[in-house]
């Protein structure tokens, strides 16, 4: 296990800046294995040693993996001057450390993974990995088998031609309901693909990313940590 500075560990867990943590140490409010800490720079193994603040033992987690059902009106960023961000929906001790894996448009709902595991994030987003992303959408206009075939070949947009996508028609009419699976995640991609055929996406929700499926018990704005099974499946994508 890696040894780390006590002030860095506590700062990463949301107990303030290193300067503020030093004040906690100075006030005698931090103990390590039952002994009052006197040096904020002391090295600890947070996974193995008991660290307490105000006599409350801490549960240290080096890596955080959170599934969020992103609501509309919230942006996929860690900070923004005008809009609420996805990390604003999380507890402080998570919000200060994680980042969203990819982005959903401000009006798009659904599955968003947030983590501080940069390697996993990179591998899920790398174009070489071709991690598929599945969406449910309502489309203004009739979606037909011709669109299914066109998506399967790749849709030519102004600046690029998409990789082949899988389009499933759930219902077709004045408002059609569909599922679409793409392997890229370019800006407004799903909306632009339908717009290329004169169709407008009026509702969009991501329901899957690779092996990770949205937990339908999560209401918009709700979140939970990934299960070990979900995490193992995602890591399997890394190898």
d(CA 53, CA 18): 15
Q: Catalytic pick from 33, 54, 80, 105?
A: 105
d(CA 13, CA 85): 20
Phi, psi of 192 (to 5 degrees): -70, -35
Residue 55 annotated to the active site: no
Task: Using alpha carbons, list the distances in angstroms from residue 159 to 103, 113, 130, 163, 189.
Answer: 20, 28, 20, 13, 11
Determine the 3-state secondary structure of 32 from DSSP.
strand
Contact between 153 and 161 (Cβ < 8 Å): no
Listed in sequence order, the residues at least 6 apart from 193 whose beta carbon sits closer than 8 Å to its beta carbon are: 151, 155, 157, 162, 165, 180, 182
Contact between 204 and 194 (Cβ < 8 Å): no
Instruction: Please identify every residue annotated as catalytic.
Output: 105
């Amino acid at each position: 296990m890696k040894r780390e500075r006590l002030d860095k560990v506590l700062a990463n867990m949301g107990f303030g800046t290193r300067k503020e943590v030093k004040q906690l140490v100075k006030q005698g409010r931090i103990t390590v294995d039952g002994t009052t800490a006197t040096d904020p720079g002391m090295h600890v193994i947070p996974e193995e040693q008991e660290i307490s603040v105000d006599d409350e033992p801490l549960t240290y987690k080096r890596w955080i993996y959170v599934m969020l059902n992103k609501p509309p009106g919230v942006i996929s960023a860690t900070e923004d001057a005008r809009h609420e961000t996805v990390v604003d929906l999380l507890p402080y001790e998570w919000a200060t450390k994680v980042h969203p894996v990819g982005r959903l448009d401000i009006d798009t709902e659904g599955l968003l993974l947030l983590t501080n595991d940069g390697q996993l994030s990179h591998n899920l987003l790398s174009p070489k990995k071709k991690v598929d992303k599945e969406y449910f959408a309502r489309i203004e206009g009739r979606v037909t088998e011709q669109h299914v075939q066109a998506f399967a070949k790749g849709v030519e947009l102004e600046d690029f031609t998409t990789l082949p996508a899988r389009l499933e028609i759930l219902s077709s009419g004045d408002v059609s309901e569909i599922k679409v699976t793409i392997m890229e995640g370019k800006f407004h991609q799903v909306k632009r693909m339908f717009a290329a055929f004169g169709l407008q996406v009026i509702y969009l929700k991501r329901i899957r990313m690779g092996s990770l499926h949205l937990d339908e018990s999560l209401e918009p704005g709700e979140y939970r940590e990934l299960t070990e099974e979900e995490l193992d499946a995602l890591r399997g994508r890394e190898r």
